[in-house]
Amino acid sequence: MNHWDNFQTTVRSALDNNDTDGDGEADTLVPAGIIWMQGEADAYHEQASKVYLANLTSLMNDMKMVFGDKELPIILGRIEDSGKTPQTRMMPYIECMGCSEKVR
């Protein structure tokens, strides 16, 4: 099973569970948002960094569809490069990743 299939199965199972806390009373799971922390590996590869924002936007939109809420908020975590100049930068393509732009 790939990660996408596993994600969909997990979300659907959680949303279909009518008694999440096991107290015998029906519960409703209401997703509050998506927290996403990933991407620093893409900053080491030029091609991956160039398509990162488009791929991330597509993934977030697909995830919102699985949750059934196209307005679900997203919080993005980003690891900063410890190098302060292009000469000391560890992740040579971090600036190409476009994460300062808004993900829709």
Does the residue 21 lie in any domain? no
Rounded to two decimals, the pTM is 0.75
What does the alpha-carbon distance between residue 90 and residue 44 come to, in Å, rounded to a whole number?
A: 8
Does the residue 68 lie in any domain? yes
Does the residue 18 lie in any domain? no
Does the residue 39 lie in any domain? yes
Does the residue 58 lie in any domain? yes
Does the residue 77 lie in any domain? yes
Does the residue 45 lie in any domain? yes
Q: What is the pLDDT of residues 19-55, one digit of tens each?
A: 888 899 998 888 999 999 876 788 888 888 889 889 9
Which pair of structure tokens corresponds to residue 58?
A: 């597509």
What does the alpha-carbon distance between residue 34 and residue 95 come to, in Å, rounded to a whole number?
A: 24
Whole domain around residue 66: which residue ranges? 31-104
Q: How many domains does the chain fold into? A: 1
Per the prediction, the chain carries an average pLDDT of 85
Token pair 């488009």 is found at 54
Does the residue 22 lie in any domain? no
